[in-house]
Amino acid sequence: MKLKVRDYPDLVRDSQSKAIINTNRSAMIQHIEKRETKVSIQSLQEEINVIKDEFQEIKELLRQIASRNH
């Protein structure tokens, strides 16, 4: 049996498991897509930071090579 959650028209409580269930599928899909986008952006930011660090290492190595040749 599903019981309505007071003050939340899109939520119901399963009387057997006591779980709260969102009945607004479009809002739930939007939330999942938003969360996935956020995770994707964070992953890209981490990759960018790794690439920046690697470029800094390459620049430093090139500076060391250039200073040995002068």
Asked whether the predicted pLDDT for residue 50 surpasses 80, the reply is yes
On the CB side of 13, CA atoms within 13 Å amount to: 9
Asked whether the predicted pLDDT for residue 69 surpasses 90, the reply is no
pTM (predicted TM-score) = 0.58
Output the average pLDDT for the chain.
Answer: 94
Amino acid occupying residue 12: V
Backbone angles phi, psi at 15, to 5 degrees: -65, -25
Domain spans in the chain, listed from the N-terminal domain onward: 2-68
Reduced DSSP (H G I as helix, E B as strand, rest coil) percent helix, strand, coil of the chain, to 5: 65, 20, 15
Tens-place pLDDT, residues 4-35 = 999 999 999 998 999 999 999 999 899 999 99
User: Per the structure block, which two tokens stand in for 22?
Assistant: 């969102």
Residue 70 pLDDT class (50, 70, 90 cuts): confident
Measure the CA dihedral 36/37/42/48, to 10°.
Answer: 130
